[in-house]
């Protein structure tokens, strides 16, 4: 599919990718009334889903997936849900395992390639909720899960009509390298702190697997993935985890209309996260690369974001 020319023009101060990223993550607020539902996963863990609804009964739902150490109340999630609710569609914001305010049951939690949990949510929307149309929108880590899910060797339910992936680190090794550079030091420190706090909670359940001396040795995000993300989820090491879970390799197999928006000034993304060749070769892939936007920082006016507006436009063009 030909590459899409972006029309995104941010307010002047938010042409700076760092400012756009920080403002969007720490300052923006989007209040939304949600109803929580807990579902069991196929391996007998649980997922907490936060629902919001259109004013009238809808046969369409958008499944929203957050990023690393996010949750279903983050503004980049609730902003989409609120916009789609206002346009006649229901929304379910997924809290990945351990991200809903309560630790999950197992030593494993969530990771960049955990597509089985997404499939459990999809099946729940079809079988229990009876939705005829399903949209999936993932942000950052959630975007990687979205693309990997759609491109894996699985039967994609006919109810899935479209997908959107925003600020996607589809080359996990490359993005890990970028996150460890000085330009992202503040973000890396913040992510590491939150991840270690989660491990300390899990240490209460699994003291034999998580010892104080082990946690003290984790100084970087890559070391966290080496110690926990990889081994807790069945990979030998961080390198294998990155290689097998990067969604870049699955793009050629995607058969559902899919919009990818990755800003060129996103400091989290490596060159491998701009899949021009894959988009040109797959008529179902729509790749948009705005000059601005940082990492999930596509700010417009009146608390509306460009990526949210584009998501609604894209879905309306497909349904």
Same domain, residue pair 240 and 123: no
pLDDT of residue 36: 98
In a domain, residue 148? The reply is: yes
Residue range 201-258, pLDDT digits in tens: 999 999 999 999 999 999 999 999 999 999 999 999 999 999 999 999 999 999 999 9
User: How, if at all, do strands 46-52 and 285-288 pair?
Assistant: unpaired
pLDDT of residue 44: 97
Give the separation between CA 243 and CA 224, rounded to whole angstroms: 16
- The secondary structure of residue 73, as a DSSP letter, is T
Contacts of 237 (CB under 8 A, 6+ apart): 226, 230, 231
Last residue of a domain, one of 245, 272, 305: 245
Residue range 23-51, pLDDT digits in tens: 999 999 999 999 999 999 999 999 999 99
Same domain, residue pair 92 and 219: no
Q: How many distinct structural domains can be found in the chain?
A: 2
> Does 1 have pLDDT greater than 90?
no
In a domain, residue 5? The reply is: no
Last residue of a domain, one of 245, 269, 301: 245
Residue range 113-124, pLDDT digits in tens: 999 999 999 999
Same domain, residue pair 51 and 93: yes
Show the DSSP H helices in the chain as ranges.
Answer: 17-22, 75-86, 115-127, 141-151, 172-179, 185-205, 212-216, 221-224, 238-245, 276-281, 306-318
Residue range 45-98, pLDDT digits in tens: 999 999 999 999 999 999 999 999 999 999 999 999 999 999 999 999 999 999
Q: Cα 110 to the chain's mean position, in Å?
A: 11
In a domain, residue 260? The reply is: yes
Same domain, residue pair 148 and 269: yes
Same domain, residue pair 109 and 201: no
Last residue of a domain, one of 245, 280, 305: 245
Same domain, residue pair 266 and 300: yes
Residue 194 pLDDT grade (very low, low, confident, very high; cuts 50, 70, 90): very high
pLDDT of residue 2: 72
**Domain harbouring 122, CATH code:** 3.40.50.1820
In a domain, residue 4? The reply is: no
Boundaries of domain holding 178? 172-245
Same domain, residue pair 81 and 215: no
Residue 130 pLDDT grade (very low, low, confident, very high; cuts 50, 70, 90): very high
């Amino acid at each position: 599919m030909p590459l899409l020319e972006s029309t995104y023009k941010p307010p002047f101060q938010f042409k700076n990718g760092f400012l756009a990223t920080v403002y969007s993550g720490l300052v923006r607020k989007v209040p939304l009334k949600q109803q929580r539902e807990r579902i069991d996963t196929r391996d007998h863990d649980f997922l907490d889903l936060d629902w919001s609804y259109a004013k009238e009964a809808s046969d369409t739902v958008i499944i929203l997936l957050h990023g690393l150490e996010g949750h279903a109340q983050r503004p980049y999630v609730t902003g989409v849900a609120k916009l789609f609710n206002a346009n006649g569609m229901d929304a379910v914001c997924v809290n990945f395992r351990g991200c809903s305010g309560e630790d999950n049951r197992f030593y494993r939690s969530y990771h960049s390639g955990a597509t089985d949990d997404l499939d459990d949510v999809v099946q729940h929307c079809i079988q229990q909720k009876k939705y005829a149309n399903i949209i999936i929108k993932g942000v950052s880590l959630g975007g990687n899960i979205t693309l990997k899910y759609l491109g894996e060797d699985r039967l994609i339910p006919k109810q899935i009509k479209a997908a959107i992936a925003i600020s996607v680190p589809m080359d996990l090794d490359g993005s890990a390298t970028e996150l460890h550079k000085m330009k992202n030091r503040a973000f890396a420190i913040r992510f590491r702190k939150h991840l270690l706090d989660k491990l300390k909670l899990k240490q209460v359940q699994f003291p034999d697997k998580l010892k104080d001396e082990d946690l003290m040795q984790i100084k970087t995000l890559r070391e966290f993935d080496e110690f926990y993300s990889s081994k807790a989820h069945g990979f030998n090491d961080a390198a294998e985890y990155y290689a097998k879970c990067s969604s870049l390799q699955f793009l050629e197999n995607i058969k559902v209309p899919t919009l990818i928006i990755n800003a060129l000034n996103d400091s989290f993304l490596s060159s491998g996260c701009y899949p021009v060749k894959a988009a040109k070769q797959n008529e179902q892939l729509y790749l948009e690369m705005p000059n601005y936007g940082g990492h999930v920082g596509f700010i417009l006016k009146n608390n509306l974001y460009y990526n949210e507006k584009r998501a609604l436009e894209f879905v309306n063009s497909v349904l």
